[in-house]
Amino acid sequence: MSLRHFIPGVLWVLVMGLLFLAPQSYPPHTYFGTIPSRSILHGIMFLGFVHIWIGALKKQLKHASIRSKAVKLVFGSALILALITELIVFLVGINSMFSLWNLLFDIVGAALGILTFKILYQQCY
């Protein structure tokens, strides 16, 4: 495996962790009266996460099985990461309740990441 393709993905996950664990203002800023601004951040971060990691896995030239299953692997890991980050945020006490908005935007961001990757790289992969 070529590890140099994984460096941007690892750095992205570290930035995600720092942003998700950063203190937030109370009351949180909302859009349309219900959607917290932090949830939109979650969606954007997961879009980038999926985009970076699919690209890294698609560049594994010696491992055809990883390349062929890259989208499924990354989407599954995005779902697991979404649940883990929400659980950590809840347990650390940054958010007093498990935020379904964050989880929803995590999933939407991951799906948009897959869609944008397929649109942008349809000729390459």
Residue that has been written with the tokens 């799906």 in this structure: 111
Entry pTM: 0.85
Of the candidates 114, 34, 36, the residue with the CA atom closest to the CA atom of residue 79: 114
pLDDT by residue, tens only, the chain of 125 residues: 567 778 888 898 899 888 888 777 777 777 777 778 788 889 999 999 999 999 888 887 777 888 788 899 999 999 999 999 888 887 877 665 567 888 899 999 999 999 999 998 888 76
CA–CA dist 112, 78 (Å, integer)? 12
DSSP state of 124: T
- 3-class DSSP state for residue 31? strand
Angle between helix 7-21 and helix 37-58 axes, rounded to 10 deg: 170
